[in-house]
Chains A and B, each alone.
Chain A
Amino acid sequence: MANYLSPFQTIKSACDRLVIAVEDVSDLWPSVKEGFEQRLPFQKACLNNKTRNPVFVEQLPAEFILTTDPRLRSRFPQEQSVFWFREPYATVVLVTCEDLEEFKTILKPRLKLIVQNDEKEWFIVFVSKAHPSNDQATKMAKKVYAKLEVDFSSKKRERCCKLDLHGTESIFWEDLESKMVESIRNTLDRRVQFYEEEIRKLSEQRFLPVWNFCNFFILKESLAFMFEMAHLHEDSLREYDELELCYLETVNTPVRQREFGGLDHGDDQAALLNPVFKPLTQIIQDDSFREFEFRQYLFACQSKLLFKLSRPVEVAARGYAFIISFSKTLALHENALPFCLREAWVITACLAVINSTSSHYDGGVVAPDVEKEFYRLQGDLYSLCRIKFMRLAYLIGYGVEMERSPANSASLSMLPWPRPAVWPVSSPDASSEVFAKEKIILQANPGAKHFDIQRKPLPLEPSSLLREANRRRASLSIGNVSELLDSRHSVTDGSGADGVSKFSPSSKTNPSSMSRNFSGPVNFESSSPSLDRPMRLSEIHVAAEHALKRTISDLDLLKSLSTLQDFEQKYMELTKGAADKYHNSCWKRHGVALDREIAALCFKHGNFDLAAKSYEKVCALYAGEGWQDLLAEVLPNLAECQKILNDQAGYLSSCVRLLSLDNVLFSTKERRAFQSEVVRLAHSEMKHPVPLNVSSLITFAGNPGPPLELSDGDPGTLSVTVWSGFPDDIALESLSMTLVATNNVDEGVEAIKCSDAPVLKPGRNTVTLALPPQKPGSYVLGVLTGQIGHLRFRSHGFSKGGPPDSDDFMSFEKPTKPVLKVFKPRPLVDIVAAISSALLMNEPQWVGLIVKPMNYSLRGAILHIDPGPELMIEESQMIEIEDYMSVMERMPQITESIALENVSSISTEKSEQLLLGNGKIALPDWASDITTVLWFPVRAIDDRMARGTSAVYPQRQSVVDGMRTIALKLVFGAFHNQIFERTIAVHFTNPLHVSTRVVDKCNDGNLLLQVIMHSQVKASIHIYDAWIDLQDGFVHIGKGDGRPISSFFPVVISPSSRAAILFSIRLGSMTNEDEVPTESILNMRYGVSGDRNVGAHTPVSANPGVERELLFKSTLILQRPVLDPCLAVGFLPFSSDCLKVGQLVSMQWRVERLKDLVESPRSTLNVLQDELLYEINVNPDNWMIAGRKRGHVFLSTMQGSRVVITVTCVPLISGYVRPPQLGLPDVDDANISYNPAGPHLVCVLPPTLSSSFCVPAAA
């Protein structure tokens, strides 16, 4: 059956659609042909697929062929079973007949003969030529057709239909179409069944020796082809898939050594999408096919069907998998294949799949994830292609131009070298080329890293090419390695990058992984005379190039390997293709890794702008995900681009990023290079100084522990820990820091500055910042800003007390811990007077001030003391300060002992004497935090003499008289920024208040004058002596000096108590002399024993210890009794019972002359004898006077003459009030007798209620 292969191919190529046979019995075809062919292709056909499920096929093509056509006639019967797919799928019998008799005798037997073959699906089309107007003919045709139906149609199946040539009904055509489709369906079913049966039979023999894959293939492909013709592509595809599985099974059975194929010219160009690349007859081998061609053929058939099914994505997916698996297969046969055929094939295969799928993919209505998948697959294909292309380029010496990036290294260094049976050898006449290659190697820039970064370049090769190539040349023994090494040195010393570095590590590190590379068959026979010495690298390259030129037939690929420029162009194209596709898919990281390669090439070609952009993308990805190792590899390149582009901002930020990478990634020397770059730029003249973010490099934190606490208005110094990530000390021009209030975000933040220009050491630094007064609230650290040279930088990086945490890229959370708390304004200090009771007037007295700091240090505080008027500070005296607490402890004893003795002495432990200068004193340091009492001596000045009062008419002294004020100003705080001001009132008083009373009038005219002394101070008063200098008209009894008996003294008056002394006096004669005092004066010598903590005390004396007696003087007014009244004034009772507010009342006084006016030298001068001046004294708040308050009345000088003075008044307030008094200013008081004698009160009732506003009380 194998010999059917050739005809099978021919038949297949000739036959592309279903065939419908037309049995033209009555020569009708020419007249109906047009109508029939118009029905093609079938718009919608319902066919059964392999599993007998109905499938609707659209646009099913078919062809009508007359049975008389040579295409149907000239077939050998035995062919039919195999090539059944080309046989007609339906037979249309075209008949016409106008005569019943003719039908019976001629047509019917003939038809019977035609349709007797059961195999055929047939039906009869009866064509009626009768014109509708011709009734006779029409009737006859109907009759004949009826007969025909009876004879040929059965109940099961209608096999007849009638076409009226002149009719117009379309029912016929639909009928015809359905009948044709039905026939095709039936035929298809039968043939599928047949093929399946055949295939099943053949499959059963698969493990028998007679098994022949070719036969199986012909059957299987026939079936597939038939499905394809019927547009049942899914089924067809399934057949091919099964065929592939079956083939792989056959191939993998290691029974026979088969030829693999791939040795023909042009085989390096993948034919995986071209099923007709090679005729199958060429690749047949025994009973099967050569794997190399056949698998590509199968894939081509599959992809053709997939494209027909509009599934280019699947083509890409299958294509990628196929390429990978086929590449492995090629690797197995590599030693038999031309040099690097595998690589060339993969490259062309990938490009073919990419191109065809791209052209078939319209990106229309596919789900987004399918689209992404498609682009991902294309990216994979591009990247596979790229790797293989790089491998080829490396072999011919372009390796030195390749970027040794991680991506390239990952794909190439684990990819084994090609393993040809014999490594190609350079021909001796290629010395010029060898020289050229050597030059390339020597001239190659080994890609010195920027910033002098020393890195071992990443390998691009699984093992040294030099060694591998020489090994595979097979003539060299292991012993030649030393020679090899020598030559290698001589070759690569200049280049440095290529052979040297990878040789040793890769050869010794991966022995296990690479060992299988060395196990290829070694052909000793192929050694040539030139192999007596190992090839040099350049020779290897030249040899490889020659070998590749022999292998590769694809002109495009050849061209792209011909020169470096072409290589780079192709390389760029593939890299860009892969990157673009990956970017369109979900595989961003793949795309970005390729962007890095694009950038490297752009950089190499001086296209720094593009390079920088790509590098930035790469860096952003690596930095974003924290892949610092990878970032450290790319970032120097970006920095270099930016440096070349003069992008200072970018360059600086790159340098900072380099510095902020993990310490282990760069050596100290490299990091110093980065720093010096930053410093150099910072100090150079930058056109546009750029702000720089160094958050990752310089971080800061508040000091551990509680935050600094300040009172409102206080400045302070804030200490901040700053971590520097610079490898060396770095000098800053300035450093400042913002504070952010936690409660108020909107408020503008103010930067606080570091006072000096700090130099940051690597690692931890403590920086102190001067803190101006802040508003109340709590503050956290905001942004650190500073300046290096002209460069302003800022940092938002917080550290939690550790070094800058470089891998902590995702959590720069702000610490909530406040670093500073400023309290709301509150009293910080209080100063009150230490005593509440009065001090002695006119004597130097201690005034105590309790200075009470309230949780606030008064260190360095200065107190300004400004005494008010009538008060002076005894500047000669020291000021004393003592601890208040100890005073308080002593307080009980002090109060106890006040009455007994003078305890006023400084005996507390903490006390000090201070000097008042210029009204200021500085508080001592020990007093800064404790409550203290500050004593300073003052003297209140009052030049008025104390006045005694009458005990009968006591008159209160005004307290205000003794009040003095001291203005205090305390300046404190660390910067003397806090001010406390207060005015303190201190009460001064005379020690005693004196009142007098005449206790008794003796019969002998002596008066007992009681002098009552009220102590005004909280101290004991010792009276040592007391005497009265009497006024005119009074004399002491017995001509004495008026002193009481001296043995009474000293009299002690306890605090706030009273004592009295009796003096005996009598009236004397008036002398009327000018120098005689009109007032009596009480003199007292006394002493005070009190404590300054309590009140009045012994006056401060310049020389302590000497107690001095004090003198107290008080005036006393003694009134002579009215002995010879001239006038009597009587207050007449009111006319009404009671006075009411608002009611007019007449006040009446009767004035009566008691005796004749005696000529008085003092009064005659200005007083008329019979005119009397009167005056009403009244409190205007209580009374309203109607009438004259002052005036003259006539009073005769005769004894007994009288006059009544009436004044109308209105009382203004209710209560007991003093009524108006009548005074006679011209007459001496001593000559007037009043009745009542003293002041008296009258009762004034409230006004009567207005009834209109009152509700009567309930009865």
Chain B
Amino acid sequence: MIVCVAVVGQQNNPLYLQSFTEAGDELKLHHIVHCSLDVIDERVNNPKKSWPTLNETFLGLLYPSENYKVYGYLTNTKVKFILVTIDMEVKDADMRNFFRRFHAAFVDAVSNPFHVPGKKITSRSFASRVSAIVKSFGSGTTA
């Protein structure tokens, strides 16, 4: 189950964060997403052979924690997408697919002429689209 998706801007500022936990504990997800920026920074700043090449936007698993996983995706404009899931078995291909769709939704949202680049995304249609993507991701894995 995906518990949270987030968009983080170039300056590591949060642009969008949606949690799917229903409880009032989004703050801990803020924390997780914020901390995962450490990993992204590290990967971007010192690329190593063991990590996927930088040409790849999908950063893969950032955070092998015991109880949740954090996946990352870096667009060519240095905007980061971060996903927190508590599913322990996730296929990379599914994740890639998810991020590709998410990226498309993001591009549509920021192409809105009324959106100020670098500001939080407040579009409701983006939110509903993200929810749909997240929902379909869950059903895709279970099916």
Query: A residues within 8 Å of B by Cβ?
Result: 321, 324, 327-328, 369, 376, 384, 405-407, 409-411, 413-416, 456, 458-459, 505-506, 509-510, 512-513, 586-590, 593, 622, 625-627, 629-630, 633, 807-811
Of the candidates A369, A409, A588, A808, the one whose C-beta lies within 8 Å of that of B25 is A409
When distances are taken between beta carbons in the complex, the residues of chain A under 8 Å from B13 are 625-627, 807, 809-810
Distance between Cα atoms of A627 and B17 in the complex (Å):
11
Give the interface SS of chain A, mostly helix, strand, loop or mixed: helix
**Which chain B residues in 1-18 approach chain A with CB under 8 Å?**
1, 11-14, 17
Distance between Cα atoms of A618 and B135 in the complex (Å):
35
B24 and A625 form a contact (CB under 8 A):
no
Closest Cβ of chain A: how far from B139's Cβ, in Å? 13
Closest Cβ of chain B: how far from A509's Cβ, in Å? 4
Of the candidates A369, A409, A590, the one whose C-beta lies within 8 Å of that of B46 is A369
When distances are taken between beta carbons in the complex, the residues of chain B under 8 Å from A587 are 35, 38-39, 42
B14 and A590 form a contact (CB under 8 A):
no
Closest Cβ of chain B: how far from A383's Cβ, in Å? 10
Q: Is B52 an interface residue (CB 8 A)?
A: no
Q: Which 10 A-B pairs have the closest CB atoms?
A: A626-B13, A406-B31, A410-B28, A587-B38, A409-B28, A414-B67, A406-B27, A509-B23, A406-B28, A625-B12
Closest Cβ of chain A: how far from B85's Cβ, in Å? 10
When distances are taken between beta carbons in the complex, the residues of chain B under 8 Å from A458 are 25, 27-28
Q: Is B92 an interface residue (CB 8 A)?
A: no
A513 and B1 form a contact (CB under 8 A):
yes
Residue of B nearest to A415 (CB): B67
Distance between Cα atoms of A809 and B9 in the complex (Å):
13
Residue of A nearest to B119 (CB): A807
A409-B28, A458-B28, A586-B45 known; A630-B34 Cβ under 8 A: yes
A513-B1, A513-B86 known; A324-B66 Cβ under 8 A: yes
Distance between Cα atoms of A810 and B39 in the complex (Å):
23
Q: Is B22 an interface residue (CB 8 A)?
A: yes
A627 and B14 form a contact (CB under 8 A):
yes
Distance between Cα atoms of A409 and B66 in the complex (Å):
14
From B17, B28, B38, B68, name the one whose CB has the most chain A CB atoms within 10 angstroms. B28
A415-B67, A626-B11, A807-B119 known; A586-B42 Cβ under 8 A: yes
Q: Is B113 an interface residue (CB 8 A)?
A: no
A593-B35, A808-B119 known; A328-B66 Cβ under 8 A: yes
When distances are taken between beta carbons in the complex, the residues of chain A under 8 Å from B119 are 807-808
Query: B residues within 8 Å of A by Cβ?
Result: 1, 11-14, 17, 21-32, 34-35, 37-39, 41-42, 45-46, 64, 66-68, 86, 118-120
Query: 23 A-B Cβ contacts within 8 A?
Result: A327-B66, A328-B66, A369-B46, A406-B27, A406-B31, A410-B32, A413-B28, A415-B66, A415-B67, A456-B24, A505-B24, A509-B22, A512-B1, A586-B45, A587-B38, A588-B38, A593-B34, A622-B34, A625-B11, A626-B14, A630-B34, A807-B120, A810-B11
Residue of B nearest to A323 (CB): B66
When distances are taken between beta carbons in the complex, the residues of chain A under 8 Å from B25 are 409, 413, 458-459
A586 and B1 form a contact (CB under 8 A):
no
A630 and B27 form a contact (CB under 8 A):
yes
Closest Cβ of chain B: how far from A1064's Cβ, in Å? 103
Distance between Cα atoms of A629 and B14 in the complex (Å):
10
When distances are taken between beta carbons in the complex, the residues of chain B under 8 Å from A589 are 34-35, 37-38
B42 and A627 form a contact (CB under 8 A):
no
Residue of B nearest to A506 (CB): B23
When distances are taken between beta carbons in the complex, the residues of chain A under 8 Å from B37 are 589, 625
Closest Cβ of chain B: how far from A626's Cβ, in Å? 4
Closest Cβ of chain B: how far from A286's Cβ, in Å? 31
Distance between Cα atoms of A630 and B8 in the complex (Å):
14
When distances are taken between beta carbons in the complex, the residues of chain A under 8 Å from B118 are 810-811
A630 and B66 form a contact (CB under 8 A):
no
A324-B66, A589-B34 known; A633-B14 Cβ under 8 A: no
Distance between Cα atoms of A1177 and B45 in the complex (Å):
110
When distances are taken between beta carbons in the complex, the residues of chain B under 8 Å from A506 are 23
A410-B32, A510-B23 known; A586-B67 Cβ under 8 A: no
Distance between Cα atoms of A808 and B120 in the complex (Å):
9
B42 and A324 form a contact (CB under 8 A):
no
B45 and A505 form a contact (CB under 8 A):
no
Closest Cβ of chain A: how far from B61's Cβ, in Å? 13
A587-B42, A625-B12, A807-B119 known; A593-B21 Cβ under 8 A: no
When distances are taken between beta carbons in the complex, the residues of chain B under 8 Å from A593 are 31, 34-35
When distances are taken between beta carbons in the complex, the residues of chain B under 8 Å from A625 are 11-13, 34, 37
Closest Cβ of chain A: how far from B52's Cβ, in Å? 18
When distances are taken between beta carbons in the complex, the residues of chain B under 8 Å from A510 are 21, 23
When distances are taken between beta carbons in the complex, the residues of chain A under 8 Å from B86 are 414, 513
When distances are taken between beta carbons in the complex, the residues of chain B under 8 Å from A414 are 67-68, 86
Of the candidates B31, B41, B46, the one whose C-beta lies within 8 Å of that of A407 is B31
Distance between Cα atoms of A1060 and B37 in the complex (Å):
111
When distances are taken between beta carbons in the complex, the residues of chain B under 8 Å from A384 are 66
Distance between Cα atoms of A589 and B120 in the complex (Å):
21
Residue of B nearest to A407 (CB): B31
When distances are taken between beta carbons in the complex, the residues of chain B under 8 Å from A410 are 28-29, 31-32
Of the candidates B22, B27, B68, the one whose C-beta lies within 8 Å of that of A629 is B27
Distance between Cα atoms of A405 and B28 in the complex (Å):
8
Closest Cβ of chain A: how far from B138's Cβ, in Å? 9
Of the candidates B1, B11, B26, B67, the one whose C-beta lies within 8 Å of that of A416 is B67
Distance between Cα atoms of A405 and B27 in the complex (Å):
9
From A369, A406, A593, name the one whose CB has the most chain B CB atoms within 10 angstroms. A406
Given A324-B64, A407-B35, A629-B30, 15 further pairs, Cβ under 8 A: A324-B66, A410-B28, A415-B67, A505-B23, A586-B38, A586-B42, A589-B38, A593-B35, A625-B11, A625-B34, A629-B27, A630-B30, A630-B31, A807-B119, A808-B119
B1 and A509 form a contact (CB under 8 A):
no
Distance between Cα atoms of A630 and B6 in the complex (Å):
14
When distances are taken between beta carbons in the complex, the residues of chain A under 8 Å from B68 are 414
When distances are taken between beta carbons in the complex, the residues of chain A under 8 Å from B11 are 625-626, 810
When distances are taken between beta carbons in the complex, the residues of chain B under 8 Å from A622 are 34
When distances are taken between beta carbons in the complex, the residues of chain A under 8 Å from B27 are 406, 409, 458, 629-630, 633
Distance between Cα atoms of A725 and B91 in the complex (Å):
47
Distance between Cα atoms of A593 and B27 in the complex (Å):
13
Closest Cβ of chain A: how far from B114's Cβ, in Å? 13
B1 and A590 form a contact (CB under 8 A):
no
When distances are taken between beta carbons in the complex, the residues of chain A under 8 Å from B66 are 324, 327-328, 384, 415
A586 and B41 form a contact (CB under 8 A):
yes
From B11, B25, B46, name the one whose CB has the most chain A CB atoms within 10 angstroms. B25
Residue of B nearest to A582 (CB): B38
Distance between Cα atoms of A807 and B9 in the complex (Å):
12
When distances are taken between beta carbons in the complex, the residues of chain B under 8 Å from A588 are 38
Distance between Cα atoms of A630 and B118 in the complex (Å):
19
Distance between Cα atoms of A512 and B120 in the complex (Å):
31
Residue of B nearest to A406 (CB): B31
Closest Cβ of chain A: how far from B16's Cβ, in Å? 12
When distances are taken between beta carbons in the complex, the residues of chain A under 8 Å from B14 are 626-627, 629
Distance between Cα atoms of A414 and B32 in the complex (Å):
12
When distances are taken between beta carbons in the complex, the residues of chain A under 8 Å from B120 are 807
Distance between Cα atoms of A506 and B22 in the complex (Å):
10
Residue of A nearest to B64 (CB): A324
Closest Cβ of chain B: how far from A1155's Cβ, in Å? 120
From B11, B30, B46, name the one whose CB has the most chain A CB atoms within 10 angstroms. B30
When distances are taken between beta carbons in the complex, the residues of chain A under 8 Å from B35 are 407, 587, 589-590, 593
A324-B66, A510-B21, A633-B27 known; A627-B38 Cβ under 8 A: no
When distances are taken between beta carbons in the complex, the residues of chain B under 8 Å from A456 are 24
Residue of A nearest to B88 (CB): A328
A629 and B26 form a contact (CB under 8 A):
yes
A625-B12, A810-B118 known; A590-B38 Cβ under 8 A: yes
When distances are taken between beta carbons in the complex, the residues of chain A under 8 Å from B67 are 411, 414-416
Closest Cβ of chain B: how far from A347's Cβ, in Å? 13
Closest Cβ of chain A: how far from B131's Cβ, in Å? 16
Distance between Cα atoms of A369 and B49 in the complex (Å):
14
